Every structure is written in C-alpha cells, then in structure tokens.
Structure 1
Amino acid sequence: MKIKKVIRRACMVSLFVTAFLVTITSISNISFADVRMWVDYEPVHTEKTFTQLKHRQSSLQKKDLNYLEPKKMYISSDEIEGPKTLEEAANLDKYPTSQVVATGYTAGVESTGKSPDHPEYGITFSGVQVKRDLYSTIAADLNVYPIGTILFIPGYGYGVVADKGSAITGNKIDLYFHTVEDVYSQWGKKQLDVHLIELGDGTLTEEELEELNETDALQVFRQQITES
C-alpha cells in the first residue's frame, strides 16, 4: 500500500509540474527547450565570462591610455647633445696653429681687376671657381701654404687655398666674400691664429672642393655659412 501511495504522489507531482510548465509556456511564449537551457545552465560559466570581459576591458583601457598619452619626442638643441657651431665640430685642439693677418677679398674689380664680363671672372689661380661655403676658397702665399692647403679660420670657417695675390705674402691670407659690403661688415682685417688641417700638394679641382663641401657630418652647419 505504501508503495502505491508513493507512486500515486509521484504521478500527481509529475502531472502538476507538467501542467505548470504548459501554463508558463503558453502565457510567456517560452518553449520547453528554453526551460531546459535554464535548467542546464552553469553559473560558473557566467563567472568565467565576466572575468574574461573584465580582463578584456582592462586591457583596452591600458591600450587607450598608451594611445592618449604617448611618449613625447622633442627635437631641439636643448635635448640633443652635440656641437652647435662649425668651430665646435671641428675638434681643433689636435691641429697646429700659426698666427696670420687675414683680410677679405671678392671676385670683383676692387680685388682682382676683373669685371663680371671678363672670361676669367671668379676663376682662381688653381682653376676652381671662387666659393663661400663650408669650405671656402682663400688666397695665401703659396710658399707658406701651397694650393689645396686646408685651414680653419675662427669666425670664418674652413678655407682651402686656391688663389694667390701680389700683396699676399708671408703670414697673410685673403678670405673670399661675395661682396665688398660683406668684407667690411663680416670681417675687415684681423690678426688671429689659424689651424692647419691639411697641407696641400699644389693642386685643387672642382670635384675635390665639391666633395669637401658635401661632407655629411657638416651639412647641419652649411646654412650658417652660406647665409652669413
């Protein structure tokens, strides 16, 4: 009898549950499959998904911070260590010095007696054209400084002996400038120590002079010279 009562109660409970589910599904339009998914749902997956989502959100936040606040880069003379003038870059301490009297000259009539329509206007004794650049053409006593000699003249820059002059003897040198105004405003006449960078062999070509002026390490200073 007890067994029959248990079976009867189980059947009634089963029928009640079935009737309840049928009522719920008909009212809420939820299927038995949806109910089954709810029953089989494991909360641990929700926790795992939430953790993954939280981690992903945190990663995105870090990426956003890196994007919004990138490392700042500055290019200025205040942050880059290095020489700021041609004289600082020349490392002159290792070169011998000698005292000279330096004057300025131009390619014009006032210095050479040649006008711009002269076929040899601006042509130096060495055959190269006068030039004011990183390495400028200068005149000297060729018995002291042969053609091709490179001097560093403080306040002027590198000078390459390319010319001579009747008044340029002994410890005198003449520095090329574009105009007479430049000679007076930028130089005049000075007595100073010059540095002997290289003693010339008596020759100088346009190609050699051009190669000197294209020295990569000195290009940053080129504007200082050509616009002075």
Structure 2
Amino acid sequence: ETELDPESISPKKLTWEKEEIKESEAALSETKIETEAIEEMSTSALNDSAEKITVVATAYSRNQPSLTNITAMGIDLSKNSQVIAVDPTVIPLGTKVYVEGYGEAIAGDTGSAIIGNRVDLHMESIDASFAWGIQEVELTIID
C-alpha cells in the first residue's frame, strides 16, 4: 500500500504501465459499459441541491492478494461490489454517493491511505482498478 499525499497528486489521469494492456483495456471497456448503464439510471436521481465534493479517487479490487471480501463496515464485496473506501470524518460510513465515472455506491470501507478528500473505488477486476489509476472526480452525497 503506497502512502500518497493528496496535495502532490496532479488532477491529470494517470495509469499504471502494464504488459497486458489488451486484457486490461477489455476489462476496462466491460466496466465502462456497466458504469454507463448505472450512470444513466442514477443521474436523473441527482439534484442540484445535493452536496458535491471534489475527491482524488484511486481504485482497488477485493481480488488483490492482500485483500479480503469483507469491508470495514462488514459489506461482502463479492455480493455488493459498488463500494468506496472513505475517510469517515469527511464522508460517514453508510452514506450513499454518486461518483463521476463510477456510478452509485455506498461508503462502506476505510483504508490507512484514505485521508481527507480521497476515496478508493472497489472494482471486481484488478486490471480495471489499475487502468483507473488516479483521477480527480466529483462525488455527490445522495443520502
């Protein structure tokens, strides 16, 4: 786990260099299709009075060797994968959110590097999580 200072991260999209680029692109396009369908359903539910914050978003997968299926809040990621890790002093655990480019999710996990306006988005595919890299996105609090 790498400690990153949110102040030193530029908002450009960064991606990890990987040898299996074709495989990772295929995984990413599958994720994009799912995300677009979720976004179409969710966008109409968002209103202008909702609280929006800009966050630095990285991604992780329960399938990484060091991780388990169960989040800090007890959510089983194999049954509910649309979960983000948050700093609970910024976004309380259990909050429903909408993340630009990711979709609707629940703030159901924490992580030692997730401090302040940083979130970590759970993705089933390790390749898709690497392909996401680090992005600055808008997060909307749904409830």
For normalisation by structure 2, the TM-score amounts to: 0.65
Higher relative contact order (CA 8 A, sep 6+): 2
1:156 and 2:111 are equivalent in the alignment: no
Could you tell me which residue of structure 2 aligns to residue 182 of structure 1?
128
Match of 1:104 among 41, 47, 59: 59
Flag the structure with higher helix content.
1
**Greater share of strand residues, 1 or 2?**
2
TM-score (normalised: structure 1): 0.42
Larger radius of gyration: 1
User: How far does residue 123 in structure 1 lie from its aligned partner after superposition?
Assistant: 0.4
Are residues 1:90 and 2:35 paired?
Answer: no
Write out per-residue CA displacement over residues 17-38 of structure 1, whole angstroms, 9 at most, x where no aligned residue: xxxxxxxxxxxxxxxxxxxxxx
Q: For residue 145 of structure 1, report the CA deviation from its aligned partner.
A: 1.2
Identity %: 31
> Structure 1 residue 162: deviation in Å?
0.8
Determine if contact 2:72/2:110 at 8 Å carries over to the other structure.
Answer: yes
Q: State yes or no: 1:126 paired with 2:78.
A: no
After the TM superposition, list the runs of 4 or more consecutive aligned residues in structure 1 that deviate by more than 6 angstroms: none
Matches within 5 A, 1:11-160: 85-109=40-64, 113-114=66-67, 121-130=68-77, 131-132=80-81, 136-160=82-106
Distance 1:91 1:140 in 2: 20
Q: Which residue of 2 aligns with 1:33?
A: none
- Distance, in Å, in 2 between the alignment partners of 1:91 and 1:123 is 29
Match of 1:5 in 2: none
Q: Distance in 1 between matches of 2:43 and 2:95?
A: 21
Post-superposition shift, 1:91? 2.8
Say if 1:106 and 1:179, in contact at 8 Å, map to a contact too.
yes
Deviations 1:110-148, CA, capped at 9 Å, x for gaps: 5xx23xxxxxx200011111133xxx1110001111210
